[in-house]
Amino acid sequence: MSFWFLLSMVGLILVVPVHFLSVEHSKLDGKYGMEKGFKIGAVLGMVSGWGFFLFLIGLWVSPQEKFSIQILGVSFLSLPLSHLLFATVFLLPGAWLGIKGVTEMGLKAAETHRADRVISTGVYSKVRHPQYLGAIFSHIGASFLFSGYFSLLVTPLVCGINYILCWKEEQELIREFGEEYLKYRENVPMLIPRFGK
């Protein structure tokens, strides 16, 4: 494993506690007051959000062993076009989920991790955390696009981190919105949409 890959992986892990602090709005407001607590939370949210994004990119593009998938002895992912076609299956929905999540929530709320209401329409009516689901899809797609062997190997870690971030955000959302968020949580799955309903 290259230094850059290890740095990206460690960075991704170290972003988690910063994110945890950024979503603890009640604690920040109680400790520093509403205005200063909001600003501190916003800065921590920006650092953790952009850090998460940049460290994910680091996993994809850092020097690492390459892979190709073979079926019956035939390598069908050895051509860049094949990589692109397979990666697109994950990258397009990943990008769509991320963009829709941000546009429906609003850029300010997405950057600061501070929602002013429970959003239950649009993509949020199918999944509670479209941006994190989009990050998982994008990670898988980019790992195939760049044929990143180690990047693909750490997919369970990326999924686990996304789940932990969702769980932590929901603890704060329950504190902030109470019964309204609990009802929303009952009806909409966290990361795996139910399309039949």
Q: Are 182 and 120 in contact (CB under 8 A)?
A: no
Pairing assessment for the beta strands 74-75 and 70-71 based on DSSP bridges: antiparallel
pLDDT tens digit at each of 197 positions of the chain: 799 999 999 999 999 999 999 999 889 999 999 999 999 999 999 999 999 999 999 999 999 998 776 655 555 545 556 677 788 999 999 999 999 999 999 888 887 778 889 999 999 999 999 999 999 999 999 998 888 999 999 999 999 999 999 999 999 999 999 999 999 999 999 999 887 65
Cα distance between residue 13 and residue 18, in whole Å: 10
- Cα distance between residue 117 and residue 176, in whole Å: 9
Residue 125 has a pLDDT of: 94
Judge: domain 3-187, CATH 1.10.3210: no
Q: How far apart are CA 131 and CA 122, in angstroms?
A: 13
Query: How much is the pTM?
Result: 0.89
HEC secondary structure over 136-151 = HHHHHHHHHHCCEHHH
Q: Which residue's entry shows tokens 């980019």?
A: 142
